Structures are given as structure tokens and as C-alpha cells.
Structure 1
Amino acid sequence: MDSHPEAPLEQPPPPEAPREPMLTLPPALTAYILLLAVIHLRVLLPPEMENWTIDVFGFIPKRYDTTLLDITFPGGAGAKVWTFVTYSLLHANLTHIGFNVLWLLPFGSALARRFGALRFFLFMAVTAAAGALAHLVTHEHAIAPMIGASASVSGTMAAAIRFAFVKGSFLSFSRGDADAAAKVPALPLSRALRDGRVLGFLAVWFGVNIVFGVGSLAIGGGDNVTVAWQAHIGGFLAGLLLFSLFDPVPRVRDDAADASSVDQSGRV
């Protein structure tokens, strides 16, 4: 009887790696938003306690000015240090906090995935401090406290555009899961500033902030609340210029091909 070789058994295809949805929030950003929400519960405090909280943790330029009226602010010398960051965790109302969170969803998510929790929180603190410094320089004698995360939010937007338009990233038409989209190689700053999409984004962003600032229009605030647009610009410039200090992903070389040729795996 003839013997026939047995046909090899077919191997089942390997399971596909799970793909993280683009709209899933990374844990670091979720924690940051929850922190903002918990801190905003201060509005439930009696008015005098709420005002004390803003005076102690809000950023007041006059706190650093000894040339005019001698005013003693709560918090003492320590407040001159911590308010460079803590002001960014306070918000005027739900609309104010909601507006900042809305912008954090796309840009903050991509940055938190790219940086990891520690780098992300440090980046938010540094851009907040840069925004406070810009506000201090332009409002040297102001007594009104500045609050809100807008400077840090602006910093995330600036940092994200360094890789947002690269093929496979989170603002491109060709992208994979959320982690892969957040980790495409970033463009060097000199090259990013030659990209028409980046320049268009910069023009619109600066234009909107200047219009709202010069026109004294409030975004997400109430009556008698104006936009601290100089702080926005301070945070934005810090995010744009300091991005490389935080970025753990190797960059695209200056002599590499155009960003549009970068594939999803990051090869050029």
C-alpha cells in the first residue's frame, strides 16, 4: 500500500497586538485632570476661605514688588516660590476648567503618552512657571491673582506640534494606535519652523491669543475676567523651545527625508 506523507498542520495566525484607541486617556493625563477637579472643590468653601486659597496659591505679581505699596500677602516667602506652579491648578469656574481640559484631550494625551508620567508632570510645572514669569514681566505691579492651567496647556500644544504632523502621528491621516502615534520621531525645531502646517498653526495660535488679549475678552471666565495672554505665550514658547529636553524619542535628523516620508514605525 502506498504511503502518502502527511500534510503539515496549518498554524493559526499569530494574534494581533492590541491597538489602543486614540481617544483613550493615558493615566498621567487622567490623574492631572482629576487633580484639577478635586482642587476646584475649593469653591465649596466659605467665601473668605476660598479667597484665602487664591491669595496663597494664586500668582500675584505684586508679591515680588517692594517699590510701591507695602502689602503683605498670605503665604509669606514660600508663596513666592510655589505660586509659580500652584496658580495653574486653580480655576475661576467650571467653564474655565472645562475649556482647558478640552484642549488637553488631544495635545496633552499625545504628550503624556510620549513623555511618561514623571516627564509629563515636570513639563506641566516648567511651562506653568514660564507662563508666570511672562505674566510677572508684563504685569509688574498687578495685585489681581492669576489662576488657570492655560500656560501649561499652551505648552503642551507647542510641544505637540513638533511631532503632530509627522506621518503616523496623532494629527496625521495615517496613524496606528495611540502609543505608536505619540512616539513618531519629532522634527528638529529648525526644520519644524520650515513646515507650512506648523507655521500655519503658530500664526493662528498667536493671532487668537493676541486678539483675545488686546480686546480684553475672556475665554471661560466671568465678568471682569481677562485672558492672561502673555502667560499663554510664555508657556507656549517654553513648550516649543524646551521640548527636546523632555523628549525620550530619538529625533528625525536634519538631513533626513521630508516629514511626509516618515512611516508609522518611525523609519525614514
Structure 2
Amino acid sequence: MTRATRTPPIIEAPPAVTGLAGVILVAHVVRVFAPASWQGFILPLGVLQPDRFWASIGLGADGTLAYSSPVEAFVPLLASALLHDGWAGAILNAALIVIFGRLVHASLSIGRKSGAIPFLIVFAVSVVGGALAHLVTQYPDGSGLIGASGGASGLFAAWVLIQEGRGGRILTKRFLTVFLFFAAVNLALWLMGPSLIGARISWQAHLGGFLAGAAAFQFFRSRRPVSRF
């Protein structure tokens, strides 16, 4: 008697990872095909606008239209990850979330305890860290920010720490070397972005997300019990 073989899934990643990537893609579909009346609601809610944010806390330029409430001002710090200006950006970020996210999820799982919640927190912290870095460097009236690349950068940083093993730390020589290389690549893309892809990336969000994600991942990993023999 032959035993039926199970066909492996195309994407071997836990539901939290594929679900997050799927949300990124679905959100872009909604934005692209939503009626004009929806666009007027979605974009102001999701686009992080430095001039309006700083005006909301009394630090912006005179005459700038501030957000109407603290909630409206702080929601884009996270919601901006759900908006992308094109299919290429949405698909790339979703793919990076799966590539790095499944390893981060596995590293944060303990026995039968799923790493879904820590994984999602690491991603969220990375997004917010990238958004804050963008805000600080775009004071008082810089360009708006959308995209999940800050979150993807944070997952990449966590992956770098995973490659170093249990002893991987943010201040190690290898991690700092990768960070400097990552920064150099982002600065180059920032300079060449308008001619290569027709847009300028936020290197600040990428670097901020990278460092925030590394810190969040290291925090969760440090709380894991150490095996004793």
C-alpha cells in the first residue's frame, strides 16, 4: 500500500506572516479600485504628513492645517504601512515580509507557543520607528510617507540577528557592518530614486525601521528561556 504524499505549500510560512503580507496586498487593491469618495477618506487617514503632524503639537509652520485630533495625528504612524503608490512597492514589501518574517516568527516561537504576537509587534514597532525617523528628519514640513518598507526593514534587521545565533546583539561588529551597508544602499537609492523608479524613497524610514525592529526583536528574544543541560 502506498502512502499518499502531501504536496508542500507554495509558501511555507505561518498564517500570521502570510496574513500580514495578504493584508498589505488587499489594502493596495482597495486603494487602487476604491471609488473617489473613498479615496478622500483613505488617503488623509493613512498618509503620514509631517507638516500636519508637527502643527498638531504646536511645532509646525504658521498657517499649516493641523490634524483635528490626536488620534488622527498618530494613526498614520502605523496606518501608512497599508498604503503604497504602486504595485511594485506593495508586492515587494509583501514578499520581504514573507521571506524574513517566517524566520522571525519561527525564532520567536517557544515550543508550542506561537510567535505570531511577538512577530506582529516587531513589525508594528518597525513601522512606527521608521515613521518617527521620517518625521524627525522632515521637520517641519517635509514630504509625506506611505509604505510598509519600514516594517520590512525591521524584519530584515531581526533576520540579521538570527544569523548570528543566540549571541547576536545590536552592537556586534557584524550587525553594525550590515547596518552601515544597508544605510549606504538606501542613500544611493534615495539619490538615484527619481531617475530609476520615478520616486524618492524615505531612507530615514528604512533606517529607523531597521533599528527599531532590531531592538524589538532583541527584547523578545532575551525573554525566551535558555535551555539547560
TM-score of the alignment, normalized to the shorter chain, above 0.5: yes
- Is residue 46 of structure 2 the alignment partner of residue 57 of structure 1? yes
Which aligned pairs between 1:116-195 and structure 2 lie closer than 5 A? 116-142=115-141, 144-166=143-165, 185-190=166-171, 193-195=172-174
Residues 165-189 of structure 1 show CA distances to partners (whole Å, capped at 9, x for unaligned) of 44xxxxxxxxxxxxxxxxxx35233
TM-score between both structures, scaled by the size of structure 1: 0.69
Matches within 5 A, 1:96-111: 96-111=89-104
Per-residue displacement from partner, 1:36-55 (whole Å, max 9, x unpaired)?
A: 12211221123453243111
Structure 2 residues without counterparts, runs of 5 or longer: 1-5, 109-114
SS at match of 2:193: coil
Deviation at 1:194, TM superposition (A): 2.9
Do the aligned partners of 1:186 and 1:250 also contact (CA within 8 Å) in 2?
no
Partner of 1:175: none
The one of 1, 23, 27 aligned to 1:39: 27
The one-letter code matched in structure 1 to 2:154 is G
**CA–CA distance in 2 between the matches of 1:110 and 1:22?**
16
In 2, distance between residues paired with 1:64 and 1:145? 10
Structure 1 stretches of 5 or more lacking a match? 1-17, 167-184, 252-265
Equivalent AA in structure 2 for residue 152 of structure 1: G
Measured after TM superposition, the shift of residue 76 of structure 1 is 3.6
**Match in the other structure for 1:27:** 15
Q: For residues 212 and 51 of structure 1, do their structure 2 counterparts lie closer, same or farther at Cα, with a shift above 3 Å needed? A: farther
Rg larger in structure: 1
TM-score, length-normalised on structure 2? 0.79
C-alpha distance in 1, partners of 2:54/2:177? Answer: 39
- 1:26 to partner: Cα distance: 1.2
Is the contact made by 1:54 and 1:145 (CA closer than 8 Å) also made in structure 2? no
Q: Which runs of 4+ in 1 moved over 4 A?
A: 20-23, 218-221
Is contact 1:130-1:234 (8 Å) kept?
A: yes
Residue in structure 1 matching 2:207, options 230, 233, 242? 233
Query: What is the CA–CA distance in structure 1 between the aligned matches of 2:18 and 2:195, rounded to whole Å?
Result: 23
Q: Partner letter of residue 141 of structure 1?
A: P
CA distance in 1, matches of 2:126, 2:72: 18
2:73 aligned with 1:80, yes or no?
Answer: yes
- Give 3-state SS (helix, strand or coil) of 1:65's partner: helix
Shift of 1:86: 0.6
Aligned-residue Cα RMSD (Å) equals: 3.0
Identity percentage of aligned residues: 27
**C-alpha contact 1:36 1:89 (8 A) present in aligned 2:** yes
Letter in 1 for 2:22: L
